[in-house]
Amino acid sequence: MEVGFVGLGAMGRPMAQHLQRAGHRLHLWARRPESVASFEGTGAVVHATPAELAAATDVAFTIVTTSEDVERVALGEGGFVEGARPGWVHVDMSTIAPGTTRRIAAALAVRGAAMLDAPVSGGSVAAEAGTVAMMVGGDAAVLERVRPLLATFSRAIVHVGDNGAGEVAKACNQMVMVAAIQACAEAMLLAQAHGVDAAKVREALMGGSASSRMLDVMGDRMIRRDFAAGIEARLHHKDFGILMDEAARLGTPLPVAAQVWQQLNALMSQGGAHDDTSGLLRVVERASGRGAD
């Protein structure tokens, strides 16, 4: 197929490469020319605008940072909507507000095109391995049409519901995941306060009911004090901003998420925006007077 891709970052680049290796011809657009440099000589076509990309493709993927970024690519001047036609599909894998997804889907529907919100989980490691988990909102028949493309880099694809439902599921994913990271940080702090070996505590917990991927990965980073970015904390901060806005709009109490949101705010204010979210350990250490760095 003729497949478009916008967002060649840590996750997008390997996803695009998986599509290319599967035999699909890539069509690219990027705000920064250097972003597409690694695809030179591979047969990929670089377009001047998202509209040109849409006109040349059957399906186009986006994975960018903010709701505003996606809306600009899809509906802004020279955006997808200007090149969309009946049967064309936009698959957005970004983590954005459900309302933004619904607005884009409605605008594309006027042109006979469709949108799937299909945010992913697993980070850059899963993107490289082709094993991201995907939660999808939109028309089920459209999902089935593009499922072979998604399967080139996804290990699990779940249709959650109509447009916006995928983003709701991703917000739930982020709440559970980052709350678990915060719990790991507090457990490490408690072990420190007692003078107990935190590595041994983590080992013991991994053998019991507290075992989790976050304790495995983030707990290990905390023990090694390796706060170099896996996924930059600023991205989780952005995600929590979205879900807390949604909670306020819906009048939905999220007390644990609200506390984690404040810890992420503290991490940002302490200069940890570009560190891994395991840096939440340093927030609780500083609050306790035990900060080592």
Residue 87 near residue 109, CB atoms below 8 Å: no
Residues linked to residue 6 through DSSP beta bridges, in sequence order = 62
**Cα–Cα distance for residue pair 280/81, rounded to 1 Å:** 40
Contacts of 117 (CB under 8 A, 6+ apart): 92, 96, 98, 101, 105, 136, 137, 138, 163, 164, 165, 166, 167
User: Phi/psi zone of residue 122: left (φ > 0), alpha (ψ -120 to 50 degrees), beta?
Assistant: left
**Cα–Cα distance for residue pair 24/4, rounded to 1 Å:** 10
Q: Give the three-state DSSP class for 290.
A: coil
User: Phi/psi zone of residue 164: left (φ > 0), alpha (ψ -120 to 50 degrees), beta?
Assistant: left
Closest-CA residue to 73 (of 122, 115, 24): 115
Q: Strand (E) positions, 63-217?
A: 89-92, 114-117, 120-121, 132-137, 154-161
Tokens of 132: 């991201």
**Cα–Cα distance for residue pair 24/80, rounded to 1 Å:** 20
* Choice among 18, 27, 159, 170 that is catalytic: 170
**Cα–Cα distance for residue pair 151/159, rounded to 1 Å:** 13
Closest-CA residue to 118 (of 214, 7, 39, 24): 7
| Active site annotation includes 238 | no
**Cα–Cα distance for residue pair 228/178, rounded to 1 Å:** 17
Q: Determine the residue type at 246.
A: E
* Active-site amino acid positions: 170
